[in-house]
Structure 1
Amino acid sequence: MPDTIQAPPQTPPKEEKPASKSESLRTPLQLKKPVTPAYTIKKKLKQLNLAHKLKSALLTHQTGQWFTAIVLIPWALCAIYFTLIASDRYVSEASFLIERSDSGGGSIEGLSLFGVTPQASNDQKILETFIQSPDMLEHLDQKLSLKQHYIESGDWISRLSPSASQEDFLDFYRSHINVRYNDTNGMLDMEVQGFEPEYTKKVTDLILLKSESFVNDISHNLANEQLTFVRSEVERAEQRLKDFTRRLLNFQNETGLLSVEEQGAALSGIMNELQAELIRSQTELQTLTSYLNENSAQVIALKQRISALQSQITTEKDKLVDSDATSLNELAAQQQELQLDLELATQAYTSALVALETTRTEASRKLKQLVVVSSPYQAQDAKYPRVAYSLINILLILLMIFALARMIRATIHEHRD
């Protein structure tokens, strides 16, 4: 009988204890070892291998190399410069205008505030040009050693080169000063940049002082030129008046006549009387010859009187209209011409005196002065460089250059294909 295999004795199954409520709610992940956030980020980066992909994209692929060379490296260099190397530039501001003493009158409606007229606008623009002129720069350099400040202060990029020419110095100065004309109120707004706040304020104060001197000099010079011209005209008119007066006196002394017209009138009266006497004598002679002999004493005497009257009339007539010598008519014409010249010279002299007084009054009314509305101050915080603004603009420019380069490269490849 074959051996039979006996089954091992079965043990009753072990009764499992019912799981507690907390154990039944556990998930498989909660049974594992807890992880930290840093470990999770590191694990995800390792899984994604972002560093390797970024390196491969920027240094292996041609597009990434271009982006790195055109955008990332230049922008990183600019960021290092603006954040670590660039020197602070402080700003001192001032607002001023040119005002005339008669600015309240004659101004156009809508532009009368602070005496703002078209002429005032021209004055402000002239002053703006002067502030940015080589003359102002030379004055600042002599008084404050501005060129030395620009060379010794600031970093190696923003400073002025020691070998800079005068033209380069002027361009550098103009890039660090900003003068704007405000059309609304007619003022000039000036902004001066410097590497030291106290020095910047000194430069601004000196610019205002020199500008005030420039305005005063120009204003007074114009007024003096006008007065000088009018005074010269007065002197010329006075000299002409003296010359014509002297000529009339010399004429009177030479002719011995105070007034030729009066003398002519007197001679005319005498001739009229002589003519009347001659007519009476001739009438009387005719009466006498009617009843007396020609050889009578009365007739002879009367004839002699008539002859004397005729001779006197001829003499007096020659004084008036003698063709051989200077007649009284010619003397009267000469004296009348001299008197007319004298009257014109007198009127010209009188007009010149009136013009002199008017010009003196107008010149005093039109004198100009520099009015400082907002005085310069010493800055406490640097206004430039504006790091965020500059870096954002640089990044945008670099991205535009990169996009342009990509476009050119794509165009070239398309033409090749």
Structure 2
Amino acid sequence: MEKNIFVIGLDDFHLQHIRQVRHVEDYTFHCLLTSEEAISIERYPFDQMLQEAESRLKGFPGSVDAIIEHWDFPSSTLLPILSGRFGLRSPSLEAILKCEHKYWSRLLQQQVLPNLTPRFCAVDPFDDHALEKIDLPFPFWLKPIKSFSSHLGFRIDDENDFRHAIERTRQGIRRVGDAFNDVLKYAELPPEIAEVDGNHCIAEAIASGLQCGVEGYSFRGEPKVHGLIDTVKDAHRWSFTRYEYPSVWPEHVQQRIIEASRHLMAHIGYDNGAWCVEFFWHEDTDELAIVEINPRISQSHSDQFIKVEGASNHQVVIDVALGREPEFCMNAGKYRTAAKFLLRKYNDTVVTRVPDKEEIDAVQSAVEDSLVVLQVQEGMSLSELRNQDSYSFEIANIYLGAQSQRELVDKYRTLAQKLHFEFADGMPVEDIQFEWVKY
């Protein structure tokens, strides 16, 4: 019998990725809250979203065999609550929050991997004396306890930077913070965590270097790893410009972050779900630092896994949700390397022209297995884009595969140069991709 698998925030684009798994003929995929209802909305009415999702599941005429997700909050926290109510396999809500709540997560990282955990402290952005209470020297990072895509994340080099960041934070933090507080009501929190709610921030010592994500899963109490993805920043080291698979880090460093990830996830007590732990590696000192933990696979990595492994990373979450040990990493794809590139612009302006369908079709036809997904529309201001980092704006996502890293970057440049955008400031999209060579 076919298994009914419900996907939180499903849309047609990501359904194409989800269907690139083995035994797909045995599954029927159902949307549980559309992307418009769960992802691209101004506010997140969590209790209402939870009630609506539960009602749809109860009204489904067939069996509910699994619930999965591949997005950040609030999908990640809807999953364990709904799974618990329907007797399905998933991580516990508390385990999810130990990853998502940045302060709680840092406390746990510090317990088990102190040498890999940057110094940190909680910050109340609505406290007029907050800066005096931060026991870190400049420079440091200031981030909300819960956000995504580096939204409202600021590097603080001096008191003026802090004042600017706090003003921006006070204006925008409640969009996610209030909804995160709604989730915290469903969990049993230690007193020291209950005091640091979703409208708090965390200050962290600066960690730098190359960045890599360890994607893995925990099944029957054992954490395992199925892929390492390099998260490449631009030449300014401000914004992400591509997610490249597989990692080109030296093998000995890859093994260190794999073991650290497994040790950390076991300490958290995370089970029956996928996760991703991100690291910095400083080439000169060989030092590692944990960036953050995401309690999910990333939909931004799915196309790369398809191109290299021959199956989407959704294979992992489907297998675990159905109570099976995943069988992944087959090297059965068409390419040896693949990436999702993020074409960016670094100042706010109005979009006056985007590539039309014929233009996109032409560039995709010229580069085999390429895909261009626009993130902007003609007439919009870039500041209208939601969930952007504090330094740039995503113009388009470009998905590519190749047989080498050099070929991959060359394909990107060839394709990107043929996409004709225009902006009110008269300036083109700046190409500041940061290139690596293999070690």
Q: What is the TM-score when the length of structure 2 is the normalising length?
A: 0.19
Which structure carries more helix by proportion?
A: 1
Structure with max Cα Rg: 1
